[in-house]
Amino acid sequence: QVQLVESGGGLVQAGGSLRLSCAASGRTVNRYAMGWFRQAPGKEREFVAAVSYSGTYTDYSDSVKGRFTISRDPARNTVTLQMNSLKPEDTAVYYCGMRRDPNSGPSSITSNYAYWGQGTQVTVSS
């Protein structure tokens, strides 16, 4: 059974940083592409960042490019999202997802992900 558990969310002032982690079990992150998505109140879940199964390729939404960095640690079976220069509009629940198919590339499409974590709240104050 695949399980994803996010951690690292919290309250931070604008301009600050947070580091989110996603611990996977039941599957290894070096066989499946992983992604981070977020959902603000009253809005749909949106793509933030993704990394290929090999770690070679990454993709970012335009809104976070240059500020956020996604990476994976196969030894710990985790994926992290380093978030710098945070803005109030980054406030949302952040979800980690694992792609359905092995040996896949990064994807911004929600339906390509078969497994999701429970989410972690990120709040950025102005």
**What span, in angstroms and rounded, lies between the C-alpha atoms of 118 and 22?**
10
Q: What pLDDT is attached to residue 75?
A: 94
What's the rounded mean pLDDT across residues 73-100? 97
- Sign of the torsion angle spanned by Cα atoms 11, 91, 48, 61: negative
Q: What is the pLDDT at residue 74?
A: 93
Whether residue 49 contacts residue 59, with contact meaning beta carbons closer than 8 Å, is answered with: yes
Q: What is the pLDDT of residues 15-46, one digit of tens each?
A: 999 999 999 999 989 999 999 999 999 999 99
Q: Could you read off the pLDDT of 42-62 as tens digits, one per residue?
A: 999 999 999 999 999 999 999
Q: Which amino acid is at 39?
A: Q
Are the C-beta atoms of 83 and 90 separated by less than 8 Å?
yes
Question: How confident is the model at residue 82, as a pLDDT?
Answer: 98
